[in-house]
Amino acid sequence: MNLERLQADEHVFSGIMRSRLLSAGMHMSDFRWLKEMGLPCERLQTHKILNKALIESMKRYDDQVSIEFGLKHSPLAPWLLSISREKYLSYLTNESQPYKMPAVCSSLQKVWRLCPECIEEDCSEHGFSYWHTSHQHIGVQVCAKHHCLLHTHDELFKADFRLPQQWKDTSTPIQIEYEWQYLWQPFMLQLSAALEEDVTLPERLRREVFDYFGVSGNLLYRERGSFDEALKVMEAELGESFFKHMIACFELECKQKTNPIWVVLYDYDVMQSRARHPIYMLMVLFWLRDKLPSLGWIDYEWRIRLS
């Protein structure tokens, strides 16, 4: 069965959803239809990256699973910060299996998000709306094109083969409550776009972070406590809400909390053999955004429309 052609910035799962809605198998259950299509019988969840459902869905559209396709049609660009480009490609082509990662992100990162203005434009131009890749990046609450608040719904933890237009009347805006969230929107959206285009950017950013902390060689695990003071400074400057919105262990107020600085510096040597969630590197980059030369170009003067 042929799949619907993907639009610009369309998430690959969105193409699967549209193909399901236009197929002759609407009498089937979702899981049965997926099985008939030769796809994994899994819920289509935007926060589960590099899993079998995503990889197999991309293979249905692109046999070679080119890295360009993966970057355009799934929110994978930030992952280039935590794994090498070569390892990233091997995951997409199933040459190796990614390291099983815990669900480190907070609840905010786990829902599908939509833009009411994109819905209007997409329906006017194409006759249907679709799920945009750029709306699903980590911590994003604003549409990069319209600078308006994205909407979501409690039931959008997983996609149920409904398109954004079918959620327009029941979804609600994702409110911006803290000052850092205003800065995170242009930071995350512009950085993700740059990672798609500049193959040298991930390594430059990693090297600048290491230089900032004065780390030039391998770290030993017993050196972990050396970065506790840096974490205290980071927490003081960014605030408790930042950590709670980013990492589940802070949101759940776990006794043992992860130090993102340590994770970034210690895990550099093993990035070739396993995937580490990019949330840690993103947090450190955001904290150091005014101190790293490779981030000096980001424009933070966005007029975000709150209504």
Query: DSSP of the chain, one letter per residue?
Result: -PPPPPPTTB-HHHHHHHHHHTSS-TTS-HHHHHHHTT-----B-TT--SSHHHHHHHHHH-TT--HHHHHHSSS-GGGGGTS-HHHHHHHHTTSSPPPP----B-GGGGS--B-HHHHHHHHHHHSS---BGGGGSTT--B-TTT-BB-EE-GGGGSB-S--GGGTTTT-EE----SHHHHHHHHHHHHHHHHHHH-TTHHHHHHHHHHHHTT--SPPPGGGGGGGHHHHHHHHHHH-HHHHHHHBHHHHTT-SS---HHHHHHHGGGGTTTS---THHHHHHHHHTTTT-GGGTT-------B--
Tell me, letter by letter, the H, E, C secondary structure of 102-137.
CCCECHHHHCCCECHHHHHHHHHHHCCCCCEHHHHC
Least confident of 29-38, 157-166, 267-276: 267-276
Predicted pLDDT of residue 8? 95
| Residue 33: per-residue pLDDT | 86
Can you give the pLDDT at residue 6?
A: 96
Q: Are 133 and 75 in contact (CB under 8 A)?
A: yes
Higher-confidence position of 129 and 307 = 129
Instruction: Give the pLDDT mean for 24-53.
Output: 82
Residue 99 is predicted with a pLDDT of 47
pLDDT, residue 94, reads 60
Return the pLDDT at 70: 87
pLDDT-derived band at 181, boundaries 50, 70, 90: very high
Task: Give me the pLDDT at residue 168, please.
Answer: 93
Checking if the pLDDT of 149 tops 70, the result is yes
Q: Is the pLDDT of residue 95 over 90?
A: no
pLDDT at 122 over 80: yes
pLDDT mean over 21-38: 83
pLDDT band at 40 (very low <50, low <70, confident <90, very high): confident
Q: What's the confidence (pLDDT) of residue 194? A: 97
Question: Is a pLDDT exceeding 70 seen at residue 260?
Answer: yes
Q: What is the residue-averaged pLDDT of the chain?
A: 87
Q: What is the average per-residue pLDDT within 10-37?
A: 87
What pLDDT sits at residue 227?
92
pLDDT of residue 44 exceeding 90: no
- Encoded tokens for 259: 């130090």
pTM, whole model, 2 decimals?
A: 0.90
Q: What share of the chain in percent tops pLDDT 90? A: 52
When pLDDT is cut at 50, 70 and 90, the band that residue 51 belongs to is confident
Between 296 and 44, whose confidence is greater?
A: 296
When comparing pLDDT for 98 and 125, which is higher? 125
pLDDT score for 96: 57
With cut-offs at 50, 70 and 90, classify the pLDDT of residue 271.
very low
- Interval 224-246 mean pLDDT: 92
